[in-house]
């Protein structure tokens, strides 16, 4: 039996053992908390940590400390190998940490940098900017910003750095400093500055080029205008056949040279981005007819028909650049005439589509019956200075810029151009442009009440050209007429011999077997001029024989303008036909020259142009005063009144604008 002392001893051991266990649990709890603070992910394994023996917890802690040390070492290595400088400052702005990249950027070592205020490294002109940016962050309760500033490196060189800065606060929200990353962007900024300078230099060069082109455009065209104008005046004087041939050669050479000059200047203007399109209402048909007028003489020489057809759903008036569209058409038609020895050139205009904003896409097709283009050359012809064949330049001339200019102008108009061609059979140049329909009404319109006079009138059309028959048929139908088209004089006479009723006839002059004059004589044997008036279409002008002229009521030179043809047809049936929505001034008759008393002033600095203008006005029966620049114009206007001023744009001291 144990005595009291033994019992007391046992109790003490139990108490000590209990105290040891309590102490061990406290230590384990502390160790678990330390482990969790090092690696929070262990929280998911908290139950396992509770069951871990003390020694295992100690070993875990040692491992975590070792891993953390390695982790920190890895972080430090990463910090030191990156190219961007990493820094930290205290609340006063003194550097308390920098990495190795800081030394590479600034040239200052870690020992030379730590403890020093950041402003010792920042360019003096940027001090206020940095202080102001920190104040903004603090006042706006923000802690993150970015920007740029300059630092003065150890070698006194200036470096530009981009910073990303983060403000640091303690648990009580007291500002304790900042940390950030600095990226050296010195080379990038230099590159940007070089780019800006290069851009400015390019713009200056472009401006100089543009000004040079404007001056050269004027200076080159001015003497050419004198050459062409004077030869035109010379052709109106009495010349021997040999002299006339010489002058016509000079005139033709001048026109050719001016075309080449215009192509080069236009191409340069487009390439420099200085080509601007105008937006004005114009009549599409008139644009096409004007283009044909410029090329009619060349077409007549080659006995080619210039034809066009505009679909009914195409607006009569559109908004766009009529000058540039006409330039495109003239270029394409000129090429067609140049490379076509017989047949026709035909322009067809269709409406492709209508867009949501009301814009429409028009498709033009310029078709010829010429020599065609080899398939392997089709992709080259729209390139600058290219021809389908070098022999073409030798035979036909040209700069090879025309189609390239057309392509670029069409692109400016929101369209594309392409060509379909077969060697020996001809070509079709297609292009599209985007335009707005115009609500502008033409200056001259026939009211429906007036056009009704043509309703059900029967017209006999005689033309060997199938396309022209089709066009004349569609045009006359649109005016309410009933057309009957045949391709020869024999067919026409057969219809008349069958007593088919016709109110008038439209007859082509140049037809095989039986020409228009011969047909006219045969018709007059059957029908009088009152019973069957005839309109003659001719590429060669009026017949010289008075008897032949009497066969017909009217003569129209090709290419036929639709508005002129309609005027003539209306005149066959009624005298006063045209209702005018706007007043149209009558065209002055050449025989009435000088009858209108006008005081005229010519503002022109070029002596040759002054002389040319004065001679042209003299031919019209007028005299004029001359001013050499804008200032002289103003002086003369202060002294007297002028009814008309012809103004040159480019003049010294004060230009025309």
Judged against a pLDDT cut of 80, whether residue 577 lies above it is answered with no
Local structure of 392: helix, strand or coil: helix
Q: Is the pLDDT of residue 2 over 60?
A: no
pLDDT for 588: 39
Polymer length in residues for the chain: 657
CA dist 91 to 117, 134, 144, 417, 419, Å? 11, 11, 16, 69, 75
The reported pLDDT for the residue numbered 587 is 37
Looking from the CA of 657 toward its CB, the CA atoms found within 13 Å total 1
In this structure, are residues 315 and 438 in contact, taking their beta carbons and an 8 Å threshold? Answer: yes
Give the mean pLDDT of 551-568: 87
Does residue 359 or residue 267 have the better pLDDT? Answer: 359
Contact 388, 400 (CB under 8 A): no
pLDDT single digits (tens) 637-657: 888 888 888 887 766 667 666
Which range in 56-65, 288-297, 336-345, 580-589 is most confidently predicted, on average pLDDT? Answer: 336-345
Cβ-count burial of 250 within 10 angstroms (0-12 exposed, 13-18 middle, 19+ buried)?
A: middle
CB 114 within 8 A of CB 95: yes
How would residue 578 be classed by pLDDT, with cut points 50, 70 and 90?
very low
Look at residue 146 and tell me whether its pLDDT is greater than 70.
Answer: yes
Q: What is the mean pLDDT of residues 382-396?
A: 54
Q: What is the pLDDT of residue 260?
A: 76
Q: Is the dihedral of CA 311, 312, 315, 316 positive or negative?
A: positive
pLDDT tens track for 28-73 = 676 667 766 766 767 666 556 666 776 676 666 666 666 666 666 6
Please check the confidence at residue 568 and state whether its pLDDT lies above 50: yes
Mean pLDDT of 431-443: 81
- Summarize the confidence of residues 391-414 as an average pLDDT: 73
Which of residues 620 and 433 earns the better pLDDT score? 433
Average pLDDT of the residues in 507-513: 90
Q: Which of 5, 217, 180 is nearest to 89 (CA)?
A: 180
- Reply yes or no on whether the pLDDT at 241 is more than 60: yes
Instruction: Tell me what the pLDDT averaged over the chain comes to.
Output: 81
- pLDDT of 601 above 50: yes
- H/E stretch holding 365 reads strand 360-368
Inform me whether the pLDDT recorded for 492 exceeds 90. yes
Reported as a pLDDT band with limits 50, 70 and 90, residue 591 is very low
The confidence score (pLDDT) of residue 623 equals 81
Q: Taking phi first (over 0 means left), then psi (-120 to 50 degrees means alpha), and beta for anything else, what does residue 353 get?
A: beta
H or E element in which residue 329 lies: helix 322-338
More confident residue, 582 or 314: 314
Q: What is the mean pLDDT of residues 218-222?
A: 72
pLDDT of 509 above 80: yes
Q: Is the pLDDT of residue 384 over 80?
A: no
- What is the torsional sign of CA 237, 241, 244, 246? negative
């Amino acid at each position: 039996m144990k005595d009291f002392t033994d019992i007391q001893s046992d109790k003490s051991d139990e108490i000590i053992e209990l105290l040891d266990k309590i102490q061990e649990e406290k230590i384990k709890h502390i160790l678990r908390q330390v482990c969790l603070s090092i690696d929070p992910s262990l929280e998911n394994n908290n139950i396992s940590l509770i069951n871990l023996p003390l020694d295992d917890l100690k070993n875990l802690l040692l491992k975590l400390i070792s891993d953390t040390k390695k982790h920190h070492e890895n972080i430090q290595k990463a910090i030191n190998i990156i190219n961007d400088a990493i820094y930290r400052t205290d609340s006063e702005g003194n550097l308390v940490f920098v990495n190795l990249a800081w030394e590479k950027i600034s040239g200052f070592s870690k020992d030379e940098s730590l403890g020093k205020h950041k402003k010792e490294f920042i360019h003096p002109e940027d001090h206020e900017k940095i202080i102001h940016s920190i104040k903004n962050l603090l006042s706006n309760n923000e802690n993150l910003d970015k920007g740029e500033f300059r630092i003065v490196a150890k070698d006194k060189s200036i470096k530009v750095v981009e910073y990303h800065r983060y403000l640091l606060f303690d648990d009580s929200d007291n500002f304790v400093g900042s940390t950030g990353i600095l990226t050296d962007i010195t080379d990038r900024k230099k590159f940007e500055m070089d780019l800006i300078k290069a851009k400015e230099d390019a713009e200056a060069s472009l401006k100089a080029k543009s000004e040079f082109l404007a001056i050269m455009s004027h200076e080159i065209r001015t003497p050419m205008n004198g050459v062409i104008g004077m030869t035109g005046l010379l052709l109106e004087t009495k010349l021997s056949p040999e002299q006339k041939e010489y002058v016509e050669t000079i005139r033709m050479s001048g026109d050719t040279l001016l075309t080449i000059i215009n192509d080069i200047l236009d191409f340069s203007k487009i390439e420099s981005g200085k080509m601007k399109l105008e937006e004005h209402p114009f009549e599409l048909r008139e644009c096409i007819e004007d283009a044909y007028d410029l090329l009619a003489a060349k077409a007549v020489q080659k006995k080619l028909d210039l034809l066009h057809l505009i679909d009914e759903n195409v607006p009569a008036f559109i908004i766009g650049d009529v000058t540039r569209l006409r330039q495109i058409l003239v270029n394409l038609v000129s090429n067609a005439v140049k490379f076509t020895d017989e047949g026709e050139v035909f322009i067809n205009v269709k409406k492709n589509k209508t867009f949501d904003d009301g814009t429409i896409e028009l498709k033009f097709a310029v078709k010829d019956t010429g020599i065609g283009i080899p398939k392997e050359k089709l992709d080259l012809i729209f390139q600058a200075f290219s021809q389908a064949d070098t022999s073409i330049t030798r035979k036909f001339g040209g700069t090879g810029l025309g189609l390239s200019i057309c392509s670029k102008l069409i692109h400016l108009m929101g369209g594309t151009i392409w060509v379909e061609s077969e060697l020996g059979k001809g070509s079709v140049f297609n292009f599209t442009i985007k335009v707005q329909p115009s609500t502008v009404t033409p200056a001259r319109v026939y009211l429906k009440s007036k056009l009704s006079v043509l309703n059900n009138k029967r017209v006999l059309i005689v033309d060997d050209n199938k396309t022209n028959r089709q066009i004349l048929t569609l045009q006359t139908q649109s005016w309410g007429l009933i057309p009957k088209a045949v391709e020869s004089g024999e067919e026409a006479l057969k219809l008349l011999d069958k007593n088919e009723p016709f109110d008038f006839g439209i007859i082509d002059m140049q037809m095989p077997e039986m020409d228009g004059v011969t047909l006219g004589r045969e018709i007059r044997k059957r029908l009088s001029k009152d019973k069957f008036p005839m309109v003659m279409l001719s590429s060669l002008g009026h017949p010289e024989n008075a008897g032949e002229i009497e066969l017909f009521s009217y003569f129209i030179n090709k290419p036929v303008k639709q508005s002129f043809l309609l005027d003539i047809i209306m005149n066959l049936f009624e005298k006063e036909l045209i209702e005018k929505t706007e007043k149209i001034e009558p065209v002055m008759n050449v025989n009435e020259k000088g009858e209108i008393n006008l005081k005229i002033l010519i503002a022109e600095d070029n002596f040759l142009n002054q002389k040319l203008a004065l001679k042209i006005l003299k031919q019209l029966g007028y005299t004029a005063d001359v001013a050499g620049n804008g200032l002289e114009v103003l002086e003369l206007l202060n002294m007297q009144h002028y009814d008309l001023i012809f103004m040159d744009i480019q003049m010294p001291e004060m230009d025309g604008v």
